[in-house]
Every structure is written in structure tokens, then in C-alpha cells.
A and B are shown apart, each in its own frame.
Chain A
Amino acid sequence: MKKSTFFSLLVIFLLIPGTLLLGRSLPGRWYYLTATAIVVEIMLPFFAAFESRRPQARELVILAVMAALAAVSRVAFVFLPYFKPLTGIVMLTAVAFGPQAGFLTGAMAIFASNFFFSQGPWTPWQMFAYGIAGFLAGAVFHGRKKWQNPFVMAAFGFLAVLLIVGPLLDSCTVFTMLTTFTRESLLLIYGQGVPVNLMHGAGTAVTIAVLGKALLKKLSRLQTKYGMLEGNV
């Protein structure tokens, strides 16, 4: 068995249930710490797999460039406040380079950009949410040339943000702000997130629809010309 596979199994079957058990015995707001710890633990196998692969210089640089691009992309749209192309770029990177590279790009982009704003209790949730955005896009579209129609990908991006990425970001608010976990209080918080998530999803869809073809072409040219990130992702 590969070392990283063994590590993922260890995390899923030992570390996470262990955290749940131990977390329950904490006094006070145990659920908040436990939820955050589990989010961090789910990310560990991704990072461990990347680390144990000993990535080549080219792979490392291209991921860094894409993560930085995603983090900076907002600057190009100074005249359109609320428009954030980050998720779209992360997803397109994942389509080109696969789910694992997509996860890393998303998580790194937001982690690094938080160094310029502020790290906070939201950092792990954001890393996980944007990482999952990349992972999903990569898992569905990577290597399937026929599916890579900009509009199909845009629709996928919109739904993924609305149904998965956005609620994940809201979950941080749920765990910080709620005192009772009743159905109506949960609906209230997630419901309040819907308009923001709609904007976020629309921005992602527009980014993918407009930029998708060009960006994928550039990335695939890079792959054929320099043989980057092939086979091992």
C-alpha cells in the first residue's frame, strides 16, 4: 500500500472518530473546536499526498502561479465590486491539472491571501471550501475532453458554489454564531447566505464561461510543450 493511502485511511478511520469522541468530553463549546479540528483533519491527506510525492520544480511553480493568480484575480476587476473570480480560476486549474492539484490551488490561494488580510477562525473553513471547489471540478472534468464545454462547466461551477462551497463557508458562521441548533435557526443562517452564494456562484460561472476556453488552452499548451504535471496527478 502506498504511504499516503495508508495515511488517509488512518485519518478517516482513527483520527476523525477519535476527535469526535474526545471532543464530546470537552466542556463548553466543544462542537466548535471539534468541527474545526475535523475540517483540518480532512485536509491532511491531500497535503500528505502532495508532500510524499516530492513534487518537481515545474509542478510546484505552476501550482504557485495558479494559486497566486486566483488570489490576485480580484484586482483586475476593481470596477466590479463583489465580483470574485477566485473560485472560477481554481476550478479551471483543477480541470486542467486534476482534483488533487485543484484542491491545493484552492486551499493555498485563500490561505496565502489571508496573510495579506487577516487569518481568523474562518481560515480552515475557507481553505476547505475552496479546496473542495477545485477537487470537485477536477474530479468531474479532468481528462474528459468532451465534457469540457465552457457552458457545462459554468453551470457546474454555479451549482457547486451554491450547494457546496457556499454552505461550507456559512458553516463557519453557524458554528460561531449559533447557540441552539434547531431547524429554524440553521435555516436562518444558511438562508441568509443564499444571496451571497448566488452572487458568488454567478461570478464563478461568468469567469468559467468567459475565461474557460482561453485559460484551458494556455494550460494545455504548457502541458504539451513542457510536459508538466503529467501522469502523476
Chain B
Amino acid sequence: MTHDAFSRCHPAVNFLFFVAAIGCGMVIQHPAYILAGVVCGGVYFCLLSGRRGFARIGMLLPLPILTAVLNPLINHRGKAVLFLVMGKPYTLEALCYGLALGGIFLVMLLWFGCYSAVLTSDKFTSLFGSLIPSLSLLLVMVLRLIPAFTRKTKQVLDARRAIGMGAEQTGSLRQKLRSGMTVLSALTSWALEGSIITADSMRSRGYGCGKRTSFRLYRMTGRDWVLLILIGGLFSLVILAGGTDASYTPVMKAAPLGWGFPAYCALLLIPTIFELKEAAAWHISISKI
């Protein structure tokens, strides 16, 4: 659970932001937009995950270089031939296209990293709980069962080891498989037995008769409405203003930047600015005491 200011907004605000950021990031291949995406996404990712974020980004950075080097091996179009590889031209255009593609992938990974930290499962279900009640309930149950089953599996493994049946590390492939299947089988029996009890207790508490109400943790405030309108407005401005066209092969060309670009940067910086503003307000309020 993160505690940055943007995460404390209404889930709808968070969701709309990520739809806009990831949607644009997926489609637009204009180099300036990709660079803006990498910078803004990277900054927010670091704000969310602190020092660990820097390490993660460091691990991801070779990715665009890798796609840049590999892409010309598949795509041979372009005029500026650098050299020949196995009789096929290795072109500068394809190299740049690969770099852009890696950049797009990096942008998406960064935003999805932020998404996972901000839009946690409880927010997801509270957002979609009234639209798809049964599926959200199913999701919540699965999410609760996964850690429970993992714990139980480890208990079964420990128990088998204690009675000398758990020589998995040294066993042959066949033994390992057999042993794993036995564990899985035991887990299944236990889980299915438990499921009957859960289902019966749900029924006895009145599941399925009448409309369900749900506890709401999040409430739309004035601030959330302002953010929602701001994100929606900037998102439509980016789409309508255009200037996002760019192509790499066979000829490199990019549309001149228009009003869409500052709007795009502003859109992507919303969570970062929001967090910095809150942090500044907090420090000022502390210094007044």
C-alpha cells in the first residue's frame, strides 16, 4: 500500500488517469511523446517505490537498446544502410524504430508498475463492484484464497519433509513430479471441503436474496471532480490536437509538435505534481507549528 497523495484520490480518478496514460503510451510513436512518457512515468514510478524504483528502472533501461539492436535484423526497410548482415541491409531507420519501440514498451511497463501500486485490488473491486457484483466477489475470493492456499501448501510440504517423504531436491524427475502431485491432491481435497463450508455459511447469511449493498471506503470529493475533469480535458486535448504522427521506416518523419504535446506532458505530470504539492503543503504546515 502506497501513501502518496494521488493514491488517496477516488479510484475513478486513478483509473481514468491510467487509461489515458497507458492508452496514449501504447499508440503514439512520436519520439518526443515517448521521451515525455519515459521521463514522467519514471519520475512517478520512483516517487511510488523509492530507492527500489531506481534499481528497477536501471534493470529496464537496456530493453530499448536491445530492441534497437534486434529490430533491423527483422525489418530491412530504410535508406541509410549501415552495413550488411547475412546479405540483408541493417538500416539506421530500423535501428531508430527499434529504439522507439523499446521506449514504448518501457513506458508501458513503467505505467503498469505505477498502476499496480496505485490501483490495488480493493480499489479495483470498489470501482467495479456495482457494475459486475458477482465477478468482483469472485475476484475478491480468489485474491483471499491465494495466500491461504500458499500457506497451506507450505505446511503440507513441511509435514512431508518431517516424515521423510520430502526428498525432492535429490529425487529424480519422476519422484519430484509424484511428490508435487501428492501435495496438490491433498491441497485440493482440503480446499474443496472448505469451499462447502464457505458456501453454506454464505447462504445462511443470506447471500443471493435481495440486492447487496457494499461498504464504500471512497467518496467523490470536490478535489476528485476537479482532477477527473482535468484528466478528461487534457486527454481529449491530446487526441484532438493531433501532431502525434511519426513513422520510421522506410522514411523517418515526425509531425511538428503542436498544442497536444504540452497537454500530454501536463497530463502525465498530474500525479507527480499532486504529490509534490501535498508534500510542500505538509512541510509548510509543519514549519508553522
Residues in B with CB closer than 8 Å to A116 are: 146
- Is residue A120 within 8 Å, beta carbon to beta carbon, of the partner chain? yes
Q: Chain B residue with minimal CB distance to A85?
A: B184
Prevailing SS type, chain B contact patch: helix
- Is residue A73 within 8 Å, beta carbon to beta carbon, of the partner chain? yes
- Is residue A111 within 8 Å, beta carbon to beta carbon, of the partner chain? yes
- How far does the Cβ of A179 sit from chain B's closest Cβ, in whole Å? 5
Residues in B with CB closer than 8 Å to A55 are: 134
B208 near A76 with CB under 8 A, answer: no
The distance in angstroms between the C-alpha atoms of A225 and B192, with both chains bound, is: 12
B67 near A61 with CB under 8 A, answer: no
B180 near A69 with CB under 8 A, answer: no
The distance in angstroms between the C-alpha atoms of A191 and B1, with both chains bound, is: 40
- How far does the Cβ of A40 sit from chain B's closest Cβ, in whole Å? 12
> Contact check: which of B26, B98, B157, B191 meets A76 at CB < 8 Å?
B157
> Contact check: which of A56, A57, A218 meets B189 at CB < 8 Å?
A218
Residue count of chain A within 8 Å CB distance of chain B: 67
- Is residue B169 within 8 Å, beta carbon to beta carbon, of the partner chain? yes
B187 near A76 with CB under 8 A, answer: yes
Residues in B with CB closer than 8 Å to A184 are: 74
Prevailing SS type, chain A contact patch: helix
The distance in angstroms between the C-alpha atoms of A36 and B27, with both chains bound, is: 11
Q: Which of A12-20, A24-32, A193-201 contacts B (4 or more CB under 8 A)?
A: A24-32
- Is residue A58 within 8 Å, beta carbon to beta carbon, of the partner chain? yes
21 residue pairs from A and B, CB less than 8 Å apart: A26-B27, A27-B242, A32-B27, A54-B208, A60-B202, A62-B192, A62-B199, A67-B138, A68-B148, A69-B191, A72-B153, A73-B184, A75-B153, A78-B168, A79-B168, A104-B138, A112-B146, A176-B101, A176-B105, A179-B71, A185-B75
Q: A28-B246, A64-B145 are in contact. List 12 more A-B contacts (CB 8 A).
A: A27-B244, A33-B26, A51-B134, A54-B134, A62-B199, A68-B148, A72-B153, A112-B146, A120-B112, A178-B74, A207-B181, A210-B177
